[in-house]
Amino acid sequence: MIYKKYQRNHVILPGREDALASFLQQDYKGMKHKLRNAVSSNSEDALTWSCFDVLASLPSLDKAAALDEVLDDAFEGSSPLSFRSRGISNDDISIHIGKQYTGISTRESTEVDASVEAPGVLVFFEAKLYSAVSPAAPPEKPHDQIARKLRVGIDSAQAGERDFFFVFLDLAPAEMMFERKSKEEAVTPAGGGYKDKWRSAWLFQYYKAGRNNSLRPLTEALEGVVHPPVELVAARMGWLTWADLFKCTMRAALGTRW
């Protein structure tokens, strides 16, 4: 659906109108893709703003508790990160939407859909709705979208001595994406899927679980970046669905706990 005004396509807290306008005007490599897609109901930027700006801006919201819920869902109840357990207060948490990060050693840069910064912690959220991750396109882009986020996040985290976590946000659980892929490959041997949506889950698990339970792909993806043991990097990779994020956001806005 195409809305007449971009305001209809976003959740806007009172007083955040100018902030949204600035967000949509952001330029990345000469393109204002957020503004171009601002009136489309298929815009993942609109959904990202609508959830994370609430988490970032609602004065009464307990950010630490809300983010702990989000991470708990992303790691299937066994999150390696708890803001509350680390004693991180709401005032110490900054949530950003569309912020650009640059690696210290490689100077590689990327725009992150949503990110959380706190003492000793950096979390990247890569958000997808109907599109799939961008593949590598050497030589200009030698790494796919997931590898690039991992490289830049870990490289930028090194400077601040922060633990880096990566969460992929998509329509369905990763195993359901694979199930769709296997069914469609029976008809379309070359792969297929709705705009190759299965590729996101495949690449995520390729790095997290590795080829034949080997973490060699993740090691190769992080080549040239000073990083923690790859086992730790993999353990800090989570998968979140939009449905879980919506529920966590609404519970946080209402001040409810379960």
Residue 90 within any structural domain of the chain? yes
**Residue 37, in any domain of the structure:** no
**Range in 21-25, 80-84, 192-196 the model is least confident about:** 192-196
Nearest to 70 by CA among 60, 85, 58, 55: 55
Cα distances from 58 to residues 63, 175, 254, in angstroms, run 9, 34, 11
Q: Is residue 48 part of a domain?
A: no
Question: CA-CA distances (angstroms) from residue 205 to 62, 158, 198, 213?
Answer: 32, 24, 11, 10
The pLDDT, as a whole number, for residue 154 is 96
Indicate whether 244 pLDDT > 90.
Answer: yes
Strand partners, 228: none
State percent of the chain over pLDDT 70: 91
- Examine residue 42 and state whether it is found in any structural domain, yes or no: no
**Which pLDDT score, from 0 to 100, does residue 122 have?**
97
222: in domain: yes
pLDDT at 180: 61
**Residue 241 within a domain:** yes
Q: What is the mean pLDDT of the segment spanning 100-120? A: 95
Greatest mean pLDDT among 116-120, 140-144, 206-210: 116-120
140 belongs to a structural domain: yes
Tally of domains within the chain: 1
What gap in Å lies between CA 251 and CA 69, rounded to an integer? Answer: 10
pLDDT for 183 beyond 60: no
The average confidence (pLDDT) of the chain is: 90
Mean pLDDT of 108-123: 96
Task: Tell how strand 109-118 and strand 94-102 pair up.
Answer: antiparallel
Q: Could you tell me the residue range of the domain that residue 174 belongs to?
A: 62-254
The string of pLDDT tens digits covering residues 188-227 is 434 444 568 888 999 999 999 876 778 999 999 999 999 9
Tell whether 95 is covered by a domain.
yes
Q: Which of 117, 76, 73 minimizes the C-alpha distance to 252?
A: 73
Of the candidate ranges 20-24, 165-169, 191-195, the one whose mean pLDDT is the lowest: 191-195
- pLDDT for 96 beyond 70: yes
